[in-house]
């Protein structure tokens, strides 16, 4: 069994209908883009070890990728790291990538955690 990342991308309930209709999710692993599907797991084989991971959305045929927020995760040897990504309620908010039982090596706080 080889190591892999498995990502399920979802939109926030406020703007999901818009994103599902006009956008396509993209998983970025170490700077390389991989097409993902809304609400379905997308599996990408990777080497075991630390990887930079971000999720974004590309609307229609626009060249730029929106909503990126990069974090680092460690993929175990011969295992699948299961991720879920969801953006915030405003369409311009980044996707937050979360996994069960595994800490990000460089966590970035959400806006609500840094509000003064």
23 burial level (CB within 10 Å; 0-12, 13-18, 19+): buried
The domain segmentation of the chain, as residue ranges, is 4-114
pLDDT of residue 1: 61
pLDDT of residue 106: 43
pLDDT of residue 93: 87
Helix (H) or strand (E) holding 13: none
Each as own residue / partner, the long-range contacts of residues 27-30 (CB below 8 Å, 24 or more positions apart, any chain) are: 27/53, 27/54, 27/55, 27/85, 28/52, 28/53, 28/54, 28/55, 28/56, 28/65, 28/68, 28/70, 29/5, 29/53
pLDDT of residue 105: 44
Closest C-alpha to 89, from 6, 18, 7: 18
CATH topology of domain 4-114: Immunoglobulin-like (2.60.40)
Closest C-alpha to 57, from 69, 45, 46: 69
pLDDT in tens, 15-59: 999 999 999 999 999 999 999 999 999 999 999 999 999 999 999
| pLDDT score of 112 more than 80 | no
């Amino acid at each position: 069994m080889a190591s892999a990342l498995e990502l399920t991308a979802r939109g926030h309930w406020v703007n999901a209908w818009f994103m599902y209709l006009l956008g396509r999710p993209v998983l970025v692993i170490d700077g390389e883009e991989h097409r993902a599907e809304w609400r379905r797991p997308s599996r990408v084989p990777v080497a075991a070890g630390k990887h930079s991971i971000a999720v974004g959305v590309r609307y229609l045929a626009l060249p730029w990728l929106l909503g990126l927020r990069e974090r680092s995760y460690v993929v175990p040897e011969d295992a699948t790291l299961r991720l879920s990504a969801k953006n915030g309620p405003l369409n311009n908010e980044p996707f937050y990538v979360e996994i069960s039982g595994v800490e990000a090596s460089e966590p970035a706080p959400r806006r609500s955690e840094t509000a003064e």
